[in-house]
């Protein structure tokens, strides 16, 4: 995959073996033009994880003469190595709420950290407190569509004040598109909210509430790969340039249908995997039972009695209980 103009080659599935499309690197074709429309010389990424998007940003920055910072309290080895190899990348090992007040505000802020209302709302509050009006950086967001657009997810629930924390799904619950609650064969998000929707629930809800506080702010939602969002002040000197990049994608109905279809297939495939795992567990239990029966004296007695009944003509061979038949069943499995 490449981004035209700067020719950035990258593989967004490096850390995504099931190909869910979880990396924000999938949005590079719309993100990089936004950075160029702003004339960005500084970018901060909140929630860099393994560095998939960070790698794209670093390569772009090398062409653009820009600098990049990544804020993540638990960076993966790939991100740590990337920072060690690139002097222009600054890695800040803190939570966003701790790290954002300490840095110089960049031209563009990418928010892809803890996907819940409280964290995103606090991130936006910290940013707006330092940059008002047209001075607001271009804000880019991930996960403004299903599943976390309107359903909180918590990296560490204990870090969220109780009054902002939704009831949590739990280890044995999953989520499925179209189901506002939880189900046993849904996608495994055990720290997500038990219900979708409602006030102060989800990334998009936090962004919408922030935008609603100022008529001069504009929100764009690109409904692809779990949702790409952008917010900017209409009076920013680059506002029209960004609008020209994003207008064709904003809430595009074709993209929305494609994304709905995509997440349905992801969820359906996972449900089938759960069914297969359950079937394998049942098979393992059955094989263990049959194995114990082979060593059981009770089965040996039953086998002898069955043979006597056949010889006496009161039963058929098909009704016999035999260890040979048990071994045959185990071999077939």
- How confident is the model over 184-202, as a mean pLDDT? 95
Q: Residues 242, 318: one domain?
A: no
> Can you give the length of the chain in residues?
333
Residue 286 has pLDDT above 80, yes or no: no
Cα angle for residues 103, 104, 108 (degrees, 5° grid): 105
Helical pair 323-332 and 253-294, crossing angle rounded to 10 deg: 150
What does the CA dihedral 139, 141, 144, 147 come to, rounded to 10 degrees? -160
- Per-residue tokens: 68: 């990049």
Residue 1 has pLDDT above 50, yes or no: no
Q: From residue 236, how far is each of 107, 216, 260 by CA, in Å? A: 11, 10, 33
Q: Residues 315, 205: one domain?
A: no
Q: Rounded to two decimals, what is the model's pTM?
A: 0.85
The answer to whether position 291 is within a domain reads no
Provide, for the chain, the percentages of residues in helix, strand and coil under a 3-state DSSP scheme, each rounded to the nearest 5: 45, 15, 40
- What pLDDT band is residue 299 in, cutting at 50, 70 and 90? low
The whole-chain average pLDDT of the chain stands at 90
| Backbone phi and psi for residue 228, each to the nearest 5 degrees, phi listed first | -115, 125
pLDDT of residue 333: 60
The answer to whether position 77 is within a domain reads yes
Q: What's the rounded Cα separation, in Å, for the pair 273 and 46?
A: 32
Residue 244 has pLDDT above 80, yes or no: yes
Q: Which domain holds residue 325?
A: 296-333
CATH of the domain at 32: 3.40.50.150
Q: Residues 149, 6: one domain?
A: yes
149-180 pLDDT per residue, tens: 999 999 999 999 999 999 999 888 899 999 99
The answer to whether position 100 is within a domain reads yes
**Considering 223, 243, 274, which residue would you say is the last residue of a domain?**
274
**Nearest one of 299, 318, 317 to 308, comparing CA atoms:** 317
Q: In 3-state terms, what secondary structure has residue 221?
A: strand
Contacts of 284 (CB under 8 A, 6+ apart): none
pLDDT of residue 274: 81
Q: Residues 15, 49: one domain?
A: yes
Q: Residues 301, 163: one domain?
A: no
The answer to whether position 74 is within a domain reads yes
Cβ atoms of 333 and 287 closer than 8 Å: yes
- On the 0-12 / 13-18 / 19+ scale of CB atoms within 10 A, 213 is exposed
Q: Residues 21, 133: one domain?
A: yes
Site of tokens 């109905």? 253
Q: Residues 268, 199: one domain?
A: yes
Q: Residues 89, 187: one domain?
A: yes
pLDDT of residue 207: 98
Tell me the percentage of the chain whose pLDDT exceeds 70: 91
Cβ atoms of 123 and 111 closer than 8 Å: yes
Q: What's the rounded Cα separation, in Å, for the pair 312 and 293?
A: 25
The answer to whether position 288 is within a domain reads no
The answer to whether position 283 is within a domain reads no
Site of tokens 């910072």? 69
**Nearest one of 183, 226, 186 to 202, comparing CA atoms:** 226
Q: Residues 266, 307: one domain?
A: no
Q: Residues 270, 300: one domain?
A: no
Residue 332 has pLDDT above 70, yes or no: no
Give how many domains the chain has, as a whole number: 2
The answer to whether position 244 is within a domain reads yes
What does the CA dihedral 32, 35, 41, 43 come to, rounded to 10 degrees? -80
The answer to whether position 139 is within a domain reads yes
User: How far does Cα 26 stand from its chain's mean position?
Assistant: 13
Q: In 3-state terms, what secondary structure has residue 166?
A: coil
Q: What's the rounded Cα separation, in Å, for the pair 29 and 1?
A: 9
pLDDT of residue 132: 87
Q: What's the rounded Cα separation, in Å, for the pair 223 and 60?
A: 24
Residue 50 has pLDDT above 80, yes or no: yes
pLDDT of residue 7: 61
Q: Residues 167, 311: one domain?
A: no
Q: In 3-state terms, what secondary structure has residue 143?
A: coil
Q: Residues 266, 320: one domain?
A: no
């Amino acid at each position: 995959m490449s981004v035209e103009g700067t020719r950035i080659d990258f593989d967004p599935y490096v850390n995504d073996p099931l190909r869910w499309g979880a990396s924000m690197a999938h949005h590079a074709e719309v993100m990089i033009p936004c950075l160029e429309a702003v004339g960005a010389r500084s970018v901060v990424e909140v929630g860099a994880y393994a560095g998939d998007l960070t790698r794209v940003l670093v390569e772009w920055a090398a062409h653009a003469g820009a600098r990049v910072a990544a804020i993540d309290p638990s960076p993966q080895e790939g991100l740590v190595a990337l920072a060690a190899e690139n002097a222009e990348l600054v890695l800040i090992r803190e939570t966003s709420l701790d790290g954002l007040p300490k840095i110089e505000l960049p031209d563009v802020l990418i928010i892809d950290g803890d996907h819940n209302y409280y964290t995103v709302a606090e991130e936006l509050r910290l940013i707006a407190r330092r940059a008002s009006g047209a001075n607001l950086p271009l804000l880019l967001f991930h996960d403004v569509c299903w599943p976390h657009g309107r359903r909180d997810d918590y990296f560490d629930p204990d870090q969220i004040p109780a009054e902002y924390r939704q009831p949590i799904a739990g280890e044995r619950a999953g989520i499925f598109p179209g189901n506002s609650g939880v189900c046993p064969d849904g996608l495994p998000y055990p720290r997500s909210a038990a219900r979708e929707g409602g006030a102060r629930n989800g990334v998009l809800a936090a962004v919408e509430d922030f935008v609603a506080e100022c008529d001069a702010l504009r929100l764009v939602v690109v409904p692809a790969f779990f949702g790409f969002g952008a917010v900017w002040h209409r009076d920013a000197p680059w506002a029209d340039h960004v609008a020209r990049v994003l207008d064709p994608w904003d809430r595009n109905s074709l993209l929305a249908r494609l994304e709905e279809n995509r997440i349905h297939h992801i969820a359906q495939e996972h449900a089938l995997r759960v069914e297969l795992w359950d079937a394998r567990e049942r098979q393992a239990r059955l094989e263990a039972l049959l194995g114990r029966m082979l060593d059981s004296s009770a089965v040996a007695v039953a086998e002898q009695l069955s043979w006597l009944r056949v010889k006496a003509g009161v039963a058929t061979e098909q009704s016999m209980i035999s260890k040979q038949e048990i071994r045959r069943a185990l071999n077939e499995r």
